[in-house]
Amino acid sequence: MSSVPRPDPVAGGRAPRLSRATAFWLLGLVQLTFMAASSAPSPLYSEYARRWGLSATALTVVFAVYALALLVSLLVVGSLSDHLGRRPVLAVALVGEAAAMAVMLTAGGVGQLIVGRILQGLATGAATGAISAGLIDLQHPGSKLGALLNSAGTAGGMAVGALVGGVFTQFAPSPHIVIFALLTAATTLLGAAVLLVPETSPLRPGTRASLQPRVSVPHADRKAFLIAVPPFVASWAIGGLYFSLGSSLTVNILHTDNHLVAGLVVALLPGAAALACVVLRAMAPLPMMLLGSVSLVVGALMTLPALLMPSTALLLAATVVAGVGFGTAFFGAFRMLAQTAAHEKRAQLFSAVYVVCYLANSVPAIAAGLLIPSAGLRDTAIGYVSAVAALALLSIPFGLTALRRTKSAATGLQPAVTLNPQTVTDPTAGTTPAPASRR
C-alpha cells in the first residue's frame, strides 16, 4: 500500500500559529481533557443516587445518553473536519463542552444532569474525529505517537477523570461544584488555545453531503476495519460496565461507601489500559490486538469470582488485567488502521471506529440498566462480564487468521488479501520512513 504523505499546514493569514510539535501535544491535552470530563462524573453517581433517590437503572440512563448523543454527533459531523478543517471544528466542540460542564455544575436534579450529559456527548462526538485525525496529521513522519496518544490518551484521560472525581467526591465539601468548575475553566481555555493550532486539512467540497447521518468506511480500509471490530466491541463493552455501574458495584456488592474506592475501581481499567499502551507500544499491531483479546478474556473470567465472593482485592486485580486487554486490543486495532489511512479520509475512518466503540460502550450498559430491576445488580453484572468474555474469545480467531495471511503474504506463499503485511507485522512500520529522532 502506498505511503501517506505528511500534510503541510494550510496557509491562513498572519495570525500567530503554534509549531507542529506544540500543536501535537496541545491536541493530546485536548483529548485527555475530553476523556477526563467523560469519566469524572462516574464516582459521583452513587452520591447522586443517595441525594436524589436514583436507582441503578437511572444511573445507566445518565451514562448512556452521553454515549448515544456522542454517536449522533459522530454520525452527523464526525467527518466534518475533513472538509472545514480541524481547527474550527475543535474550537466549536470545546465551546460546547464548556457549556455542558456549566450545565452540570448547576444541575439540581437528574433532568439537568441528563441535559448536560447530552450536550457533552454532542461536543465530544464533534471533536473525536478531528482530534484523532489531527494527531496523525501533526505527528513526525514515521512516528507512532499519533496512534499512541489516540489510544493511551483516551484511556489515560478516563483514568485521570475517574480518579480525580473519586478524590473530590470523597474529600471536597461540594464535589460536583469543584469538578465541573475546573472542567468548565479548562475547556474554555483550551477552546481559545486551539485557535493557534496550524491547520492541516484544507477546505474541501462536500461539506453539506458530509452532514448526512451515515457511517462510512473508506473502501481501501474495509478489510482491516472488519478485523478490528471484534476487539473494539469487546474492549469498549467492558468500559461501559465500569463507567456506568462501577460506583454502584462498590456500594452494593463490595459494601463500601468510600467514593475514593469507587473512583479507583473505575480508574484502574483505563489506567491499566493507558500504561499497557505505553509499555507495549513497540509490538506489531496484530499481535498486540491478540494479546489484548486474551487479556480481556482472563480479566473477565477473574471478575466473576470477585463478584460472587465478593472480594475487593480480586476485583481490583481483575480490573487491571481487563484494563490491559482494553488498552492493547484497542491500540493494536487502531494502529492497524491509522498506519494505512489516507489523509483526506482519516476523520471519516476514525469516526466510524468510534461509532462502533461507543455503540459497544452504551448499548450493553442500557440493556444492563433495564435488567437490574428484575435480575438484580450482581446477576446482571455477572451476565455482562460473561458476554464480554465471549466477545473477546470471538475476536481471537479473526486476529489469528489475519496474522497467518499476512505472514504468508510476507513470505510470498500467497497474495496479500487482507492487509499490508508490513503494517501488521513490523512494529516500526509507519506511513513514511522513520527519521533518526522522534518527538
The domain that contains 55 carries what CATH number?
Answer: 1.20.1250.20
Q: What is the pLDDT of residues 123-137, one digit of tens each?
A: 998 898 888 888 888
Does residue 2 form part of some domain? no
What's the pLDDT at 119? 96
What's the pLDDT at 415? 45
pLDDT value at 436 more than 60 = no
Residue 12 has what DSSP assignment?
Answer: B
Q: What are the cell numbers at 44? A: 459521583
Query: Which segment of 53-62, 109-118, 123-132 scores lowest on mean pLDDT?
Result: 53-62
Q: What is the dihedral of CA 17, 342, 289, 73, to 10 degrees?
A: 70
Does residue 351 form part of some domain? yes
What's the pLDDT at 101? 96
Query: Which segment of 15-19, 142-146, 217-221, 429-433 scores lowest on mean pLDDT?
Result: 429-433
Instruction: Tell me the mean pLDDT in the region 244-256.
Output: 75
For 198, 285, 406, the CA distances from 289, given in Å and listed in that order, are 33, 6, 15
What's the pLDDT at 229? 87
Does residue 6 form part of some domain? no
User: Higher confidence at residue 375 or residue 215?
Assistant: 375
Residue 358 has what DSSP assignment?
Answer: H
Does residue 393 form part of some domain? yes
Give the residue carrying C-alpha cell 465541573: 180
Does residue 438 form part of some domain? no
Which residue range is the domain that position 321 belongs to?
A: 20-202+218-425
pLDDT band at 4 (very low <50, low <70, confident <90, very high): very low
Does residue 436 form part of some domain? no
Does residue 4 form part of some domain? no
Quick one: what percent of the chain has pLDDT higher than 90?
21
pLDDT band at 204 (very low <50, low <70, confident <90, very high): low
Give start and end residues of each alpha helix (H) in 253-345: 259-279, 285-308, 312-338
What's the pLDDT at 215? 66
Long-range contacts of residues 211-215, Cβ cutoff 8 Å, at least 24 apart: 211/76, 211/77, 211/80, 213/72, 213/75, 213/76, 214/75, 215/75, 215/351, 215/352, 215/355
Task: Provide the domain count of the chain.
Answer: 1
| Range ranked top by mean pLDDT from 329-333, 416-420, 431-435 | 329-333
Q: Are 8 and 200 in contact (CB under 8 A)?
A: yes
| Range ranked top by mean pLDDT from 62-76, 113-127, 305-319 | 113-127
pLDDT band at 120 (very low <50, low <70, confident <90, very high): very high
pTM for the model: 0.71
- Give the integer Cα–Cα distance in Å for 240 and 328: 17
What's the pLDDT at 223? 81
- Give the integer Cα–Cα distance in Å for 266 and 289: 23
DSSP element (H, E) containing 221: none
Q: What is the pLDDT of residues 350-379, one digit of tens each?
A: 778 878 888 888 888 888 888 888 888 888
Does residue 213 form part of some domain? no
DSSP element (H, E) containing 126: helix 110-138
DSSP element (H, E) containing 195: none
- Going 171 to 174 to 179 to 181, the CA torsion angle's sign is negative
Give the residue carrying C-alpha cell 478490528: 228
Give the phi and the psi of residue 24 in degrees, each rounded to 5.
-55, -50
Instruction: Tell me the mean pLDDT in the region 320-343.
Output: 84
